[in-house]
Amino acid sequence: MPRSTAPGRVAPTATATAGAAPVRRRRTPRVPYLLLIPTVAILLLALAYPIGWQIYTALHEYGLKQQFGAPAEFVGLHNFVRLFTDSELWTVIVRSLVFCLVNALLTVVLGVAVALLMRAVHTAVRLFVQIAMLLAWAMPVVAAVTVWRWLFDYRRGAINYVLTQLGFDQFEGHSWLEQPMSFFFVATVIIVWMSVPFVAFSVYAGLTQVPEEVLEASAIDGASPWQRFWSIILPMVRPVLSIVLLLQVIWDLRVFAQIRLLQDAGGTPSKTNLLGTYIYQVGIGAGDFGTASAVSIFVLVLTIAISWWYVRTLVREDES
C-alpha cells in the first residue's frame, strides 16, 4: 500500500525525481554563411591586388623613374612620417571631414523632407517628383557639373543674372569659384543635388512600412505632426536613416570628380583641395606615387574606422 505524503507537502513528480531534461540549444544555420563564401572570396580577390600595390608603393620611393623601369628604393614608413608632419595634409584632412559631414547631414535632412513630401502629396505629384529625382540621379557627373558651372558662371551665369535683377548689384560679374567659401557652396549644391534622390527613395521605402493606423490613432489622441514624426515615424525608419547616413559619409569623404571639375573651371587647388584631389595632385600632378599611395592608405583606414564605429553602434542598438 503506497505511503501517503505529509500534510502540506506535495509528492515529487516523476520528472522531478528523474531530473530535468537537458535543454537543447538551437543550432546556428550554416547555409547563409556558405552562400556568403563566394561573394566574400570574389571581393577579397578583387581588392587584394590594388590594396597590395598601394601598400608596396607607399613603402617605396616610387616616382616617374620607377614608371619607366627603375628599381624602387625601400623607404619604410618615411612617406607616412613626411605626410603626418606636413601641415598642408592636416589642413586638407580637416577641410575634407567638415565638408563631408556638412554635405552628408544636408543630404539626409533634405532627403527625409522629400520622402515625407512624396508620402503626403497626390499620386500624380509623387510620380512627377520621382521622375525628376531619377533624372537628376541618373545624370552623369560631368554633365551635371557642366550645367551647374554654366548656372554659376561669372560672365553668362543665370544665378548672377537673377540676383542682379533682384537688386543685388554686387553679384554682377561675381566669380563664385574664386573664393574658397563660395567655391564649396557651389560644390555642396552640386553634390547634395545629386545625392538627395538616393536618400529620398530609401527613406520613402521605409515610410511605406509605417502603419497608417498608428498615425491616425496618435492624431486622434491629439499628437501634433512634429510629435508623430519624432515619436513614431523617426524610430521606425531609423535603421534606414543610419545606413543611408553612413553611405553618404563614405561617399562624401571620397568625393573627387565634382571638386576637380570645379577647380578646372576657376577654383584655386591649394585652397580647395580635398583628400581625393590632394591625392591626384601629389600622384599624377607631382609624380610622387609613393606619397600619394600613403595618403590613399590613410583615407582607407579613416573610412574603415568611421564605418567600423558606426556599424558597431548599430549592432549594439540592435542587440539592446
pLDDT at 89: 87
Mind giving me the DSSP string for 211-225? Answer: -HHHHHHHHHTT--H
**Separation CA 59–CA 68 (nearest Å):** 19
pLDDT at 196: 93
Pair 73, 61: CB distance under 8 Å: yes
Residue 74: strand, helix, or coil: strand
C-alpha cell belonging to residue 84: 603626418
| Interval 271-308: pLDDT, tens | 999 999 999 988 888 888 888 888 889 888 888 888 88
E strands of 104-260, at which residues? none
Residue 88: strand, helix, or coil: helix
Q: Degrees (nearest 5) of the Cα angle 267, 196, 162?
A: 55
Instruction: Say how many CA atoms lie within 13 Å of 304 toward its Cβ.
Output: 6
Query: Distances from the Cα of 119 to the Cαs of 154, 203, 211, 225, 287, in angstroms?
Result: 39, 10, 13, 14, 52
pLDDT at 2: 47
Pair 253, 275: CB distance under 8 Å: yes
According to DSSP, residue 63 is labeled S
Minimal CA–CA distance to 202: which of 102, 130, 308?
130
pLDDT at 306: 82
Q: Which domains does the chain have, with CATH numbers?
A: 86-287 (1.10.3720.10)
Chunked mean pLDDT (size 10), the chain, 320 residues = 48 50 63 86 87 87 76 83 84 92 94 91 90 89 91 88 88 88 94 93 88 81 82 84 88 90 87 91 85 89 84 72
pLDDT at 1: 45
Minimal CA–CA distance to 103: which of 192, 33, 175?
192
Pair 259, 274: CB distance under 8 Å: yes
